[in-house]
Structure 1
Amino acid sequence: MRKPFITMADVAKKSGFSINTVSRALNNKPDIREETKARILQIAQEIGFVKNRSASLLRSVETRIIGVIMADSSNPFYSEVLKGIEWASRKFDYQIILVNTERATKNEIRAVSLLMERRVDGLLIGPVQESRKHIEDLIHRNYPTVIVGRHFDQMEIDEIYSDEINGGKLATQHLIDQGCRKILLLNGYSYKSPSHMRQEGYRQALEAAGIPYDPSYVHISDILPEDGYRAILHTVCKGMPVDGIFCYNDIVAFGAMQALKDNHYRIPEDIAIVGYDDIQYSGWVYPPLTTVSIQKHRMGFEAFRMLLNRLQGKRKKTQRKILPVELIVRKSSLHLQKEGQRV
């Protein structure tokens, strides 16, 4: 059976000070002598006292807890964003409650309700984007919320995301510069804002180079390695002429690369390939993957700071922050440029 928690009364009894004095010391109040405070804190630590934050919250309007809702925390992209959020929460003395929705809208809606019931001060949401009604409800409630890594058209809500159109341009232009003319886009579902923005960048780069945009060269699927693998079987392996591939993310690219190897295509000699996100494994696959790098850790940190500024009343207008991206050139697409070059 679990031992009962050490209480403030236990600290008072052990130290010989009143409960009121112990309370002032443990709550870092100014009207107490430093040596008294130090003695009480030492005894509290020695006997294993842990502050009852729930009791404190009952006396406070704020909880100093932020709810974090992410579509897939196992995805290396989200794990890096979460590191930024956690770093900021420690820096600003907040706690977070994380809910992983497993890319299911029903789980996301339930998570929003659950975290509001827990009276979190605000929400950071990396949404699935299949539905927007529950996000609109948060706006109507004026509930402090920041959308992370996604963009909602015609919605007045704080957002932070990457310059996805430019990312799509950079990836496609790089393949064009390598001599590619039949460029296949392995894209995610169109309800995701990065999907349609990256596709727009892809289209703009093709048209700027005088290459007609062909919708049949846009393959839509989910965004896991097996989806990248199957996409190659359904396109390249069925005779579609392809000399370059731009993938929605690095994970899709990993699957696509394996399918190409299994079917005796050389990378990049036969088909050059570019990913997106620059996750930590991208430089370790063979050949090392050219990819669009986004500022994942910064995105998480800045999202938290945007929410904090809203909570502290430092900002009332809706803010949209777009982070720059860059192309990291590695051997998977390398014909003319040097590996490791940043564009």
Structure 2
Amino acid sequence: MKKFITIKDIALRAGVSINTVSRALNNKPDISPQTKQKVLQAAKELGYIRDLNALSLKNKTTRTIGVVFEDSSNPFYAEVFKGIEYGARKYDYQIILMNTERDYINEIEAIKTLIEKRVDGIIISPTQFDNEDIEYLTTLNYPFVILGVHFDNSQLDEVYSDDFKGGYIATKYLLQKGRRKILMLNGYMYKSVARMRYLGYVKALQEHGLPPYHMVEIEEGYESAFNKVVELKDLDFDAIFCFNDVFAIAALKALRTLKKNVPEDLSIVGYDDISYASFVHPALTTVRIDKFKEGSIAFELLYEKLSQMRNNPKQVVLDVELVPRESA
């Protein structure tokens, strides 16, 4: 096993006491600049690395947070994570990232693991398949923030986008383009994002005197969306509003396989405006969420709790906007 350099080794090299080394490494004011420089130079020469576990035991804080995502391979979460990282770096926190693959059992295990590791707090994008794990965190009075979804009648810290507006403006745009038979390729309706986007879709259609054309719930992922569009090929739809951009990119590929032209034969609107949305052909019309901002606000909300800056729950709803491109 590798032997790590200790403050005792630094004290021997610098010719000072262990207490002096501790004060120098922790930037205490009661030490002369010359002595501090001598200690820091000795630490550098020896290759000293702080023992965070020892600091955690002493300070009763790990300066580590846990992040629980449904699917860290989705570009949407990659961009959200940049915002969380920005906040963590700003306040000198480390991050442990857990991926649940949209499985509620994995979500429970992820939370358990993070608590066992004594992270100071958790940012979680829950599956919403059930809420017992969220209630458990609340009962423990464990600091956490919900990211990307909303729990009805909750007293939780949350940051999420205006999904009703997103569903509304996406559908309204398709209607303005002359589309009337708009298929909605949606996620599971137990998720607040899917419900609210659907309600926005319905509202826009109602304003044009139209009933909902057809909505299907599918498992999130490229293959599910591709297969569903192929399966529904005999439906007479003239547009697809997709739950997210991954669905939309899959739909583009499926329609190309079916010899359908976008946007000549059908229009497609996605959701999220991930980095790939403007690169596919045709470039994807989509609803933009400020993903970096969502992540950075999530960290700020958690930091406020960790710093005891407030006790009351806080919910932040981010605005969305339509980004017109070539697919609609």
* TM-score of the two chains, using structure 1 as the length reference: 0.94
Q: CA deviation at 1:20?
A: 0.9
Which of the numbers 201, 223, 227 marks the counterpart of 2:224?
Answer: 227
Task: Report whether the alignment pairs 1:85 with 2:81.
Answer: no
- Encode CA deviations 1:214-270: one digit per residue, 9 max, x unaligned: 4xx1011112111221121222x22x1111110001101111111111111110011
Q: Which residue in 2 is equivalent to 1:138?
A: 137
Q: Which residue in 2 is equivalent to 1:103?
A: 102
Structural RMSD (CA) = 1.0
Give identity over the alignment, percent.
48
Q: CA deviation at 1:72?
A: 0.8
Aligned length: 328
Runs of at least 5 residues in structure 2 that lack an aligned partner in the other structure: none
- Encode CA deviations 1:20-79: one digit per residue, 9 max, x unaligned: 101110111111112211221122112100011111111112221111111111111111
Q: Which residue in 2 is equivalent to 1:63?
A: 62
Name the CA distance, whole Å, in 2 between partners of 1:326 and 1:38: 53
Name the CA distance, whole Å, in 2 between partners of 1:249 and 1:71: 14
Runs of at least 5 residues in structure 1 that lack an aligned partner in the other structure: 334-343
Matches within 5 A, 1:264-283: 264-283=259-278
Residue pair 1:139, 1:156 contacting (<8 A) in 2 also: no
Comparing 100-109 with 271-280, greater Cα deviation is found at: 100-109
Name the CA distance, whole Å, in 2 between partners of 1:258 and 1:97: 35
Q: Which amino acid aligns with 2:188?
A: Y
Comparing 58-67 with 173-182, greater Cα deviation is found at: 58-67
Q: Which residue in 2 is equivalent to 1:184?
A: 183
Q: Which residue in 2 is equivalent to 1:39?
A: 38
Q: Which residue in 2 is equivalent to 1:337?
A: none
Q: CA deviation at 1:101?
A: 1.2
Q: Which residue in 2 is equivalent to 1:288?
A: 283
Q: Which amino acid aligns with 1:262?
A: T
Residue pair 1:291, 1:327 contacting (<8 A) in 2 also: yes
Name the CA distance, whole Å, in 2 between partners of 1:104 and 1:226: 17
- Encode CA deviations 1:69-98: one digit per residue, 9 max, x unaligned: 111111111111111111110001111111
Which of the numbers 316, 325, 330 marks the counterpart of 2:325?
Answer: 330
Name the CA distance, whole Å, in 2 between partners of 1:297 and 1:161: 12
> Following TM superposition, where does structure 1 have runs of at least 4 consecutive aligned residues deviating by more than 3 angstroms?
none
Q: Which amino acid aligns with 2:322?
A: L
Task: Report whether the alignment pairs 1:197 with 2:196.
Answer: yes
Residue pair 1:186, 1:219 contacting (<8 A) in 2 also: yes
**SS at 2:59 equivalent:** coil
Name the CA distance, whole Å, in 2 between partners of 1:107 and 1:82: 19
**SS at 1:281 equivalent:** helix
Q: CA deviation at 1:124?
A: 0.4
Task: Report whether the alignment pairs 1:114 with 2:117.
Answer: no
